[in-house]
Structure 1
Amino acid sequence: RVSDESEDEVIYDTPNLIGVDTNYIPHLEVEQKMPCNICGKLYKSRGMNIHKETHRKQ
């Protein structure tokens, strides 16, 4: 039964998403988190402004 096998694969994939769920909120992740163009760390838009100030001071 091909359909049963594909359903099993989906079930195996799901625990990984649940395990990361506290850090993984797709709509927030895509809109708000961006890599710093200086060091590459991910920050949300508000945190990025504060973070870039630390680079300017150095």
Structure 2
Amino acid sequence: MAAIVHFIASPRANTHQTPSSIARDALRAAAMAPSDRAALDVAGEALRRLAESVRVEARRA
């Protein structure tokens, strides 16, 4: 559970991250998750962050 909390509460969560760093951090946290559901929560949070990143970039264009 600590991996999930770390991924979700990561200080980098509020800063701009590249899509590859979001995916890398999510894969690391999901691999250490205590259950399948926890791993899916991590994946869902990563998808949310990626979508937000796309929205921010689209606004800049």
Q: Fold match, TM over 0.5?
A: no
Q: Which has the higher contact order (CA 8 A, sep 6+)?
A: 2
Report the TM-score, using the length of structure 1 for normalisation.
Answer: 0.31
Whose helix fraction is larger, Structure 1's or Structure 2's?
Answer: 2
Q: Work out which of the two has the higher radius of gyration on C-alpha atoms and give 1 or 2.
A: 1
The structure in which a higher percent of residues are strand is 1
**TM-score normalised to the size of structure 2?**
0.29
